[in-house]
Amino acid sequence: MIMTTMATTNASFSPFPFDELLEWHAGNRRDHLPWRDFTGRKQCDLAYRTWVSEIFLQQTQAERVIPYYKQVIAAYPSVEKLATASYEEFFGLYQWLGYYSRARNMLRTAEAVTRQYGGLFPDNTVALRALPGVGAYTAEAIRAFAYDLPTLAMDTNLVRIFSRYYFGAKTPSLPRTIEKTLLEQMQSENRSWRAINAALMDLGAATTGRLMIDFDRYPLPGCRFAMTAGSLEPVPERKKKIFPRKDAVRIIVLHENHVRYFSSRQDRYEPFFLEPSECEIRPAMQEYFFQNYGLSISVRPVRWHGYRDGTPHMLANAQPQTGSADLRPYPRSDHAAWESSFFTSCDRE
C-alpha cells in the first residue's frame, strides 16, 4: 500500500530513479542505527525489531530512540519475551520516551502476536493493521523491512521526496497518477525493497528541515523536469518564522483523563509554570515532576505556543503515570475557565 490522497491529475509521470537513489545511499547509509542490522536475522527477529523501532520512532528523533531501543531489545530479545512483561517492568525501560499509550499497546500487540501468530508478525496489511497501535506506516515498514515486499512505508518525509522530484517543491499530498506510477514500477522491478525504503528514509532524514533544496547537488536527477506531460510550475517554499522555544515559559496542564485537573496552588486552580530552559520541553517537564513531586508523567506534544505580554509561552498536556503527590484536583470547568481567561489575555499575532 502506498497512500491514498485527494489529489487527482491527468498528467503522465516518468518512473522514479531508484538506481540513482541507491548509488547515493551507498555513501550515506545510517548504519549506526541498531535496527538497521539485517544481516543473518530471521524474519521473526527482523519483524520484531522493526516494529519496536518504528513504534519508538513515532514523533521521536532517531538519535534519542537508540539507547531505549537497545535496552528494550536487551531485556526482551523476542516478542514472546515482551509478551510476558508487566507494564511496571516495561515502564522502567520506556518511561522517558513519553506517549505511554504506546507502551500499553506494545504489550497488547506482543501478546496478540505470540498468541495468534506464534511469535511471527503477519506479512499482510490487514492483519498488521488489526494489531493495537499499528497504523498504515508501521504496517508497511514491517512488510518492507522484515519481508522485503514491494511496498513503501510512506510518511511525510517520503511525500516530500516524491513531490520534490516530480514538482520541485513540497506538496501537501501526492497525485494518484504518481501513486499509480510507483505501484506499477515496484511490481515490475526485481529489487530489494528493504534497501529502497532504507535509502528513502535516510534521504528524508538528510533533507528534513531544509526549506529549499540545492537541486544541482540533490541525488535525484531531473528534479522539476521529471514530468513527461502536464507540466506544473514549482511552488516556492515559504520561509517559516521560527518560534523561540528555548526562551518560552512552559505551561503544564496536568490532568487525569481530562476529568480531574491538578493545580499548582491550593487556593485556586492554576496549571504549572516552568521557567525557560535550554532543555527540550518534554524531558524538562518530566524531570520537574519527578524531582519535585515524585511523579512520573507522560507529556503530549506542545498544544499551543504564542506570546503573552511579549513573552513566548508553550502549553502542553500531561498525565501522571506512577507515584502520588499532594496536589489538589479541580473539575474540568475550573480548567476551562482558566484557559478562557489566559488565552483572552494573550497577544494577537
- Pairing state of beta strands 329-331 and 260-262? antiparallel
Query: Which uninterrupted H or E stretch holds 318?
Result: strand 311-322
- Pairing state of beta strands 311-322 and 249-256? parallel
Measured between alpha carbons, how far is 294 from 7 in angstroms, rounded to an integer? Answer: 50
Chain position carrying cell 487527482? 8
Residue 256: what residue type? Answer: E
- Do residues 290 and 296 make contact, with C-beta atoms less than 8 angstroms apart? yes
Measured between alpha carbons, how far is 204 from 210 in angstroms, rounded to an integer? Answer: 10
What are the start-end ranges of the H helices in the chain? 18-26, 43-56, 62-75, 79-83, 87-94, 100-117, 125-129, 136-147, 156-167, 176-188, 193-207, 281-293, 332-344
Rounded to 10°, the helix 193-207/18-26 angle is 70
Give every CB contact of residue 176 below 8 A, 6+ residues apart in sequence: 5, 7, 8, 9
Q: Name the nearest CA neighbour of 198 among 145, 143, 150, 147.
A: 145
Rounded to 10°, the helix 100-117/87-94 angle is 130
- Residues annotated catalytic, as ranges: 54
Measured between alpha carbons, how far is 208 from 61 in angstroms, rounded to an integer? Answer: 12
